[in-house]
Chain A
């Protein structure tokens, strides 16, 4: 069964510990800018918007990649094959959820790979804001509930097809 991350905006404090944990898990360094989960903030509007890959059923990123660098791992999760990625940013433009980004150091695309089933960010969140849900209908509903208020404020639309 595929899994996804859902984030409860009510609980998120914007502390960025998830970013730290993700950067440690994937880069062995403390570097929030290289994290696969990104906490966007707008202090003036009191907005904290966690952005992470939604593990879409119809992945726009994969579709957009001219080189076929975005492939499934053994857990059925899409990840970016660094050696194949050419850093063209097509996937970044294609993903309307901000789920994939260019690593500032490698200049290659990176996205959440769910840490091979043991998500570091979930453990690192002391406020219990991140959880793992299944891609069964309840889980998808939870995902939608989690992201929609923030996405609406940011002017993003969640495609019905995703649900």
Chain B
């Protein structure tokens, strides 16, 4: 093998579903050096292999299954992996990340990436084991829910250690926000990647491996690792980490409601009076039965619940995240926690994104309230706010694309277009992706994050919690003490362009490494220096020991993903917010009256990003500085550079 870098498995796999062929190839040196792994490498692959004409649900679309050098290499939290493609919900860049144990398993099975194209004639799944790959018949799995699918695959191979990433019925039915479920209850939920696999007749991937990974300099790597862990042990983070272990992300229900940012009533407001009913204490006290953690993770935000009796009893299942509680709870004015658990579980088994699903249901509820929809449109369902039973039925109908579920399975943007009239006013999305559980009217910089996020209205590409939770030292250390005060002001747009630009590049590296956002996003412990410290010792790529190189790599990945979207027609006018979040002042709660100053923040962001203010297009000089000459070659003739 000539691929020189450690930490990586060293190979990737080409899967052509149309021909039913798999080809094992050696990893590309340039991928590692310039894009690290995960999101970065995916952006390079998708830039090269898709075009403006690529229909997301056609055989032409390409799904990249990615890991990074740190995946599975004993760094907390490093059990993550990702998927990317041109997204069916948004039509633009789509990526989704997930924890659990599958990412490491793919690498132990001998692969860093899997690139999937074409469409299989009959249902198949990919099986990876110790350097070998084969496409296996999935006819018996087609139609099965995700937990049954995993159980059946394990039985087929008589190997309980097999990990999986599979789609459920929703993905098979190409619901535009269907996700990929990993290890039973973890989801690469967002942006509809499940539908892309479904369109290819691919049920998923299963892996089991014993190949192991090496470090370039094990002693040095373990030392670097210990230094980073030491940072995590700083007393400053004690409370955050204790909270994550006790409540997982459900604590956010209380924290976020307190600042008036908890999406409520289809994002009408940011304060939910019954927030206590949907977490976190009630979950910890009444339903939680065990703690879990992803592969090698010291944070351990995962937990298991059980519900005895009532309308929605369940055997032990993975407990819901904050976003699920928000999407089916506050945002639908539903304070019946057991119904929320149930819908979270059904989404995992059906293979649906809980955020988009809950947000589409709240959209339908508002149409019903406004009289745009009546029982005639809803198959007779009473979509009054808080009607949990109706919500539960909608989840099933959406996964089956049945009745009213047919239109709702297209997401709020397309549904609003189909319904017409004023419906668009209640479709809370950016670029077609339903907004996640934040609100820029209570937290300025999240407005910029939503607007600029390459995959749409979602926090995970650049959210800053520095001002949300108030970390003055971090603000000062990273951006200079003179800026700290304004940065900590959650409703001030000042310096937020710089902060979000900085976060976006940092997360680009996190998403390429691939590690979890916890420890980087919140608590904000790991920073660029973490990569400088860890990557060279692990991989042997010396240039990653240079802080400037690492920063530029983050920028390179951010720019390439943006360029992917520009090529598809995205400009500043799409880097916007839905009217409700942009111009309806927050009506109630602690953030009452709040509105984001989006255009001021965008101006500053484009300045830092090296983009033109009018259009958002990249500057040619910037792209060249980042060794993205091939982007210049393609965008310049189209007038998409400055």
Contacts and interface: CB of A to CB of B under 8 A. Distances in A.
Interface of A: 13-17, 20-21, 23-24, 27-34, 40-46, 104-105, 124, 126-127
A46 B289 contact: yes
Contacts of B302: 13
A16 B101 contact: yes
A20 B296 contact: yes
A17 B147 contact: no
Question: Ordered nearest first, which 4 A-B pairs have the shortest CB separation?
Answer: A31-B212, A46-B316, A33-B210, A126-B298
Interface of B: 72-74, 76, 101, 104, 108, 147, 151, 160-161, 183-185, 209-215, 218, 222, 289-298, 300, 302, 304, 306, 315-316
Given A14-B292, A17-B298, A31 B210 contact: yes
B300 A15 contact: yes
A43 B183 contact: yes
B142 to A, nearest CB: 21
Given A17-B76, A17-B296, A31-B108, A42 B160 contact: yes
Given A15-B295, A104-B210, A127-B300, A30 B74 contact: yes
A30 B297 contact: no
A82 B377 CA distance: 72
A17 B297 CA distance: 7
Contacts of B104: 32
A96 to B, nearest CB: 19
Given A44-B151, A46-B289, A30 B73 contact: yes
Nearest to A20: B74
B108 A33 contact: yes
A30 B293 contact: no
A15 B151 contact: no
Contact of A29 (B214, B294, B298, B315): B214
B212 A29 contact: yes
A28 B213 CA distance: 9
B304 A31 contact: no
Contacts of A28: 214, 218
B74 A34 contact: no
A156 to B, nearest CB: 16
Given A31-B212, A33-B108, A21 B74 contact: yes
A156 B261 CA distance: 51
B293 A13 contact: yes
B153 to A, nearest CB: 13
Contact of A126 (B73, B76, B315, B316): B76
B108 A32 contact: yes
Given A24-B74, A44-B151, A16 B295 contact: yes
Given A13-B300, A17-B296, 18 more contacts: A15-B293, A15-B300, A16-B296, A17-B297, A24-B74, A24-B218, A27-B212, A28-B218, A32-B104, A33-B161, A34-B212, A41-B160, A42-B160, A46-B304, A46-B316, A126-B300, A127-B291, A127-B293
B212 A23 contact: yes
22 contacts: A13-B293, A14-B293, A15-B293, A15-B296, A15-B297, A15-B300, A16-B101, A17-B296, A20-B74, A24-B74, A29-B214, A30-B212, A30-B215, A33-B108, A33-B209, A34-B210, A40-B160, A43-B183, A44-B147, A46-B306, A126-B300, A127-B300
A44 B150 CA distance: 10
B144 to A, nearest CB: 14
Contact of A24 (B147, B222, B316): B222
Contacts of A45: 316
Contact of B184 (A20, A30, A31, A43): A43
Nearest to A43: B184
Contacts of A15: 292-298, 300
Nearest to A18: B296
Given A31-B211, A31-B212, A31-B213, A17 B300 contact: no
A21 B209 CA distance: 17
A46 B76 CA distance: 23
A137 B184 CA distance: 41
A41 B295 CA distance: 13
Contacts of A27: 212
Contacts of B101: 16
B212 A17 contact: no
Contacts of B218: 24, 28
A124 B72 CA distance: 15
Contacts of A29: 212-214
A13 B290 CA distance: 8
Contacts of A105: 210, 212
A46 B300 contact: no
